Amino acid sequence: MNRLYHESEDWVEQGACRQYDPELFFPVSTTGPGQHDAELAKAICRTCTVRRECLQWALRAGEPHGVWGGTTPEERRYLRRDLVPTG
Ligand code: SF4
């Protein structure tokens, strides 16, 4: 977790990722060589009590990098597309 960005967010203090190397949550890719790290980070997120808050923050912020709220950047792009009103 990038703590510098989110010091004002109360939920940050409760993130399960605080117990792990932050680099795990910023894999070089979500396929190929980085896929294992991305899957491991997502598994940690599934145990996290503040996953919903984290995902909401990442979607609002348009966070382009890293695993947040159990999602990769690609998954968040899909989620944001679903949230954008059409017409
Ligand atoms: S959902 Fe994942 S990235 Fe977000 S605080 Fe929890 S463990 Fe960290």
Q: Among 80, 58, 82, 68, which residue's Cα sits nearest to residue 30? A: 68
Distance CA 42, CA 44 (A): 5
More confident residue, 28 or 83: 28
Is residue 8's pLDDT more than 80? no
Ligand 1 surroundings by CB, under 6 angstroms: 1, 15-17, 25, 44-45, 48, 50-51, 54, 67-70
Is residue 2's pLDDT more than 60? no
Q: How far is the CA of 54 from the centre of ligand 1 (A)?
A: 6
Using only C-alpha atoms, the chain has a radius of gyration, in whole angstroms, of: 13
Convert the pLDDT of each residue in 20-72 to its tens digit.
999 999 998 888 888 999 999 999 999 999 999 999 999 999 999 999 999 99
Best residue among 54, 67, 76 to mutate for probing ligand 1, ranked by most atoms within 8 Å of CB: 54
Is residue 4's pLDDT more than 60? no
Query: Is residue 6 very low, low, confident or very high in pLDDT (cuts 50, 70, 90)?
Result: low
Q: Who's near 70: CB < 8 A, 6+ residues apart?
A: 42, 45, 46, 48, 51, 55
